[in-house]
Homo-oligomer: A and B are copies of this chain.
């Protein structure tokens, strides 16, 4: 793929990330470039490939991502994606419901660990689960 078209896809990824995450969406690309520029590009292109697709609403996509992370016990990304979920309009209470449902499908250990992570994010943002 020519450089020109690669840059188009990366820009598309940054734009899509800002829609999902707010202004900090462009910071992610910069942070990932610090990790490794190739990986940063792959992430942005992949993010665009998925999150700019129609077929699911943003809130539904947020639910998919949260659930995949809770199920895997990927708490670092769960923290970041909780910010995204709140930004696209999922309420704290709705994120709680996702976790409660995971107690049955994933077991209590990962569900409870996830609840702690999510509660921290929600408190940091001055919000609360009703």
Interface residues of A (CB under 8 A from B): 1-2, 5, 8-9, 35-36, 38-39, 42-43, 46-47, 49-50, 53, 55-56, 59-61, 63-65, 67-74, 76-77, 93-94, 96-110, 112-113, 115-116, 119, 129
Contact = CB atoms under 8 A, between A and B. Distances in A.
Interface of A is mostly: helix
Contact of A107 (B2, B9, B56, B107): B107
Q: How many copies does the complex hold?
A: 6
B35 A119 contact: yes
Contact of A71 (B2, B68, B112): B68
B42 A109 contact: no
B115 A56 contact: no
